[in-house]
Amino acid sequence: MTRTLFAQTNEVDEPDLAMIELIAQLELDNNLQKNAIGLIFGDFAQTAPGFLTALNERLPFDVVGVSAALSISPKIMEDYCLLTLVVLTSDECQFVTGLSEDIDEHGVECLEDLYGQLAGGLGDPPSLVLCYAAKLTTAFGGDRVVNKLNDLTGAVPIFGSIACAFDSLISNSILFYNGQFYTDRVALIMIEGPIRPKFSFFQIPENKILKRKAIVTSSSGNVVKRINGMPALDYLKTIGLFMNSHSEYADNIPLIVEDHQLGWWYPVMIMALADDAIICTHDVRENNTLGIGGCDDGYVLKSASQLAEELKWEHFDFCLIHSCQGRHISLGLDYLGEIEILRTELGGHQPFSLSYSGGEFCPRPSGDGYLNAFHCLSLCCCRF
């Protein structure tokens, strides 16, 4: 069997107290089994300098995580937490972790060497791959990572998220790996053992897609240069798509890409570039059709309730939930609404952690099974 331990803190000014609080909650002497892995989520920018590195040194296992606007666990201490630490420990499962090279410099091809290293440390193929990444760049599209890992793993389930920050600034989106911080890497955790992961996935419904359509007339990878023959950013401004003047990021107004080659549609989040092009969370092919989607509080709260209804009738040892930062922003003044639903329905009864993300890795339903995919503005859950 596997066991999940949770620890959380809101201590900002007293790192010694934060350390004592987190270590005490884990009760490692009583709970730690043969193998373990730590996952950490929270507002890293507010932690005391050196605190996370010092925490990592106190823990007898690898720790991986990403910055998150908000995070919670079943331990009801505050509305939300500065840091949430999730420890998965097991006698039967094996965990191996690794860090990629600089994605900006080497592209997703560097995942091939990383996967080879990690797979060599396992007796059998992994049952699940957890994937965490620092941020969106011109060299990094989330779907590109999924496609590469699919080729390498033979479609082993992939789950995880991209970092985000409370203010949505890309520069504050950080990957944490064994005591160090990165803004340009991908970390993988391979889990081998007798687990059968199950997934839930909610994305923007089709009735939230506006009818206005356009054509991508020039693109390269995940950079869209021209839409309907106009510079991409100019086109978006002409139709009134709001670009946040602080971060130049459209937080909760996604483009909807209809990929005619793949035969499905998906939302992409966008960030402006200096040359009036835009970076997208996914690769976008030329001649794809673009629409505009919306994410409102009604949809966010309804999908959170649907997930809670699914989970409260199940038994599981481990449960990770990642919800897009755009969903959080859509809640406006009711910014804890999604958290309150899940905590009310599951808190104290089920082992779960929720953190907000800058993009989600999660298999989506396909026929009788799942198909690995990367999403934005989605609510994703993995449990076993």
Residues 357-380, mean pLDDT to the nearest whole number: 90
Of the listed ranges 40-54, 210-224, 233-247, 276-290, the least confidently predicted one is 233-247
Which tokens sit at 354?
A: 């929720």
**What are the backbone dihedrals phi and psi of residue 66, each rounded to the nearest 5 degrees, phi first?**
-135, 150
pTM: 0.92
200 closest CA partner among 317, 350, 305: 305
pLDDT value at residue 139: 63
CB atoms closer than 10 angstroms to residue 365: 11
DSSP 313-361: T---S-EEEEEEHHHHHHTTT-TTHHHHHHHHHHTTTS--EEEEESSEE
- Is the per-residue pLDDT at 358 higher than 80? yes
Q: How confident is the model at residue 247 (pLDDT cuts 50, 70, 90)?
A: very low
CB atoms closer than 10 angstroms to residue 289: 14
Between CA 275 and CA 231 the distance in angstroms is 8
- Is the per-residue pLDDT at 264 higher than 80? no
Q: What percent of the chain has pLDDT over 90?
A: 58
Question: CA neighbours within 13 Å on the CB side: how many for 172?
Answer: 16
* Cross-strand bridge partners of residue 39: 64, 86
Residues 199-212, mean pLDDT to the nearest whole number: 84
Q: How confident is the model at residue 355 (pLDDT cuts 50, 70, 90)?
A: very high
- Is the per-residue pLDDT at 169 higher than 60? no
Of the listed ranges 116-120, 138-142, 189-193, 219-223, the least confidently predicted one is 138-142
**79-119 pLDDT tens trace:** 778 899 999 999 999 999 999 999 888 888 999 999 999 99
**39-57 pLDDT tens trace:** 999 999 888 889 999 999 9
Between CA 62 and CA 66 the distance in angstroms is 14
Between CA 327 and CA 312 the distance in angstroms is 22
Dihedral sign for Cα 211, 212, 217, 218, please: negative
Q: Residue 208 gets which letter from DSSP?
A: G
- Is the per-residue pLDDT at 170 higher than 70? no
Between CA 169 and CA 165 the distance in angstroms is 6
| Per-chain mean pLDDT for the chain | 88
